[in-house]
Structure 1
């Protein structure tokens, strides 16, 4: 239906905004970096910014030195992932403006914030943002350069993040957001929770045979190599069939290829559900009812909640190994916390807070088309789908 086509288009735009550029199917295999180990580096997190005082000057993704004179009282999150991060570090009270839509409605209290979106639900209303007179604007990499320049031209403080290509990058983005907004302790706690869950997943999938996964985005689209979603699938113990089929970026995968690859699992947006096709009918995934439903906002937005779909993938593919790892890793973490607390009580001191903020500015640059050409291509795709419907 046309409505489904519109929903697909907007969903693809959000993926483009949150994760990076959209690419077409490539003729040759693109080498995929191995997943970044997420169980090391907590001490590095803590060491990066251990005072969280102001003023502070930090370099953003484009090399701009951004100076913040005092802890910002009002912050505008220009994209959903930035809003998600602010909630994760306990800084939602500082947020005065953000996209208020189905892409952020999972954030408690988001409906009370000023919506900075235009009528399309994706583009930024510069006029609304300027009217808020916020102390700081958080700009993920998808924010157009001309929009950032427009805000800076009127004297607004904007920090642009680079593109997140791994979970490690999200740790860095979370820490940096904490440093920018004066919430280093909250950021440290959020990152620690993420690291623990990723450690559980990595222990669970270690030594296990990966099982093949097809990510069904709708309209035949999927995520291939050089995408954050592929990284998520691999971290969860899956092997992306799109990568095996030489797909790079976000592209359409033919029914013939899907049938040939015969995925053992299908990953779908829990809101849209499985779209049954002839190509999937005889796959192992459908024969054995091996469908993994995840929250698309958590999966597509490079923010702290991405650990949820990673965990859900691992639990589905390797349930017993995950359960064992969960008990083991969390048991060790609790024991360490108790030991630390006991040590603190004995001498009357407390451990230093892991006030961190990754030394990165999260978000900027992945192979493939730029956002504007990608949008044009997707609009063309939607038009074609509409004509076929008629």
Structure 2
């Protein structure tokens, strides 16, 4: 039998089992700023996911990103120079933390109030899962630290809005909008190329307990944008759920997608899916865990990885277009005073194409992130 996970269990699964998915868990009690033309004008007042008005008096000079997905958001829009504290660990290993303070426990996920308070940042950017740590939020408030809690990202549109709000919070609105435009161009290429392609049924195997995602998750949007039919959604599930292996076997997915991590090198539920078409035909694709589970710009690379594996002919046709989009934004705004382009800037300044995204792109290009077994 299938059963809907409770919100608390979802949070625990995504934090302790998946880690970076924490940014996509939980349910917001309020609405963050929803403004597609967000401006960085201070003082800035917004209503965040707590339902309360938050005011940022001046453009922040120091920022703490509370969870791994928050760090990805800040880095993706070029705000990393303002980040003084962040989670440091496997979920942010590609972000080059440098000498930034690790504000978490040894797990690289759980924030430590004392570390944040000692940094005395101008603002803290927090994923929605922070709502389940009221003690932390109260301690930061008592210390006079401004915290902006992002809404839950239940779609790719929400991911884009997270990018824009991060731009407002960090004073990088223009770069945030460029990042959104870069995402949009890539997503449009995917959509156009897959318009006449069939969408094979696919199951996202998120762990040994059968956790997967249905409708109203940005991961569902990632699957459908990559030209797949999401099995959990097809049987009527929403949010993060536990799906009994019997349901998966009965639905007989043609593909299985799973997070590529140190915990497994094959779909974790393979033993339960004997005879399923995806296993029988070796139609499995590993997607970078952080790109798939953190609601930031790197989701476009998760989509690309799936397309490359499931629709290789389509990918061959659009690969050059994707590279052209990346080149366009990589070159944009990187000229020095004498009109020449800095090699260093040219490597890393593309919106959404920081170190983390570059690593994901490299893995996709070399076939490392999409392994078929």
Could you tell me which runs of 5 or more consecutive residues in structure 2 were left unpaired when the two chains were aligned: 1-11, 28-34, 332-373
| Residue 200 (structure 1) aligned to one of 169, 182, 189 | 189
Shift of 1:317: 2.1
Task: Find the counterpart in structure 2 of residue 178 from structure 1.
Answer: 167
**Equivalences for residues 265-280 of structure 1 within 5 A:** 265-271=255-261, 272-274=264-266, 275=268, 277-280=270-273
* Cα 1:335/1:107, change in 2 over 3 Å: closer
Shift of 1:326: 5.0
* Cα 1:9/1:71, change in 2 over 3 Å: closer
Q: Larger C-alpha radius of gyration, 1 or 2?
A: 1
Contact 1:75 1:134 in 2 (8 A): yes
Shift of 1:16: 5.6
| Residue 301 (structure 1) aligned to one of 289, 294, 305 | 294
| Residue 17 (structure 1) aligned to one of 22, 27, 30 | 22
Task: Find the counterpart in structure 1 of residue 151 from structure 2.
Answer: 162
Contact 1:200 1:322 in 2 (8 A): no
Task: Find the counterpart in structure 1 of residue 229 from structure 2.
Answer: 239
Residue 63, structure 1, aligned to residue 51, structure 2: yes
Contact 2:69 2:294 in 1 (8 A): yes
Q: Deviations over 1:232-257 (max 9, x none)?
A: 11121111222233444333333322
Residue 87, structure 1, aligned to residue 75, structure 2: yes
Q: Deviations over 1:164-223 (max 9, x none)?
A: 111111111111211221112221222121111111111122122211111112213222
Corresponding residue SS for 1:294: strand
Give runs of ≥4 in structure 1 deviating > 6 Å. 329-338
Task: Find the counterpart in structure 2 of residue 101 from structure 1.
Answer: 89
Q: Distance in 1 between matches of 2:23 and 2:177?
A: 23
Shift of 1:120: 4.2
* Cα 1:21/1:334, change in 2 over 3 Å: closer
Residue 253, structure 1, aligned to residue 258, structure 2: no
Could you tell me which runs of 5 or more consecutive residues in structure 1 were left unpaired when the two chains were aligned: 1-6, 23-43, 339-390
Corresponding residue SS for 2:51: coil
Shift of 1:308: 0.7
* Cα 1:64/1:153, change in 2 over 3 Å: same
Shift of 1:8: 7.7
Residue 229, structure 1, aligned to residue 219, structure 2: yes
Task: Find the counterpart in structure 1 of residue 129 from structure 2.
Answer: 142
Task: Find the counterpart in structure 2 of residue 212 from structure 1.
Answer: 201
Query: Over the residues paired in the alignment, what is the CA RMSD in angstroms?
Result: 2.9
Corresponding residue SS for 2:60: coil
Corresponding residue SS for 2:247: helix
Corresponding residue SS for 1:273: coil
Shift of 1:334: 8.5
* Cα 1:284/1:183, change in 2 over 3 Å: same
Residue 131, structure 1, aligned to residue 118, structure 2: yes
TM-score by length of 1: 0.71
Corresponding residue SS for 2:273: helix
TM-score by length of 2: 0.74
Size of the aligned set, in residue pairs, is: 308
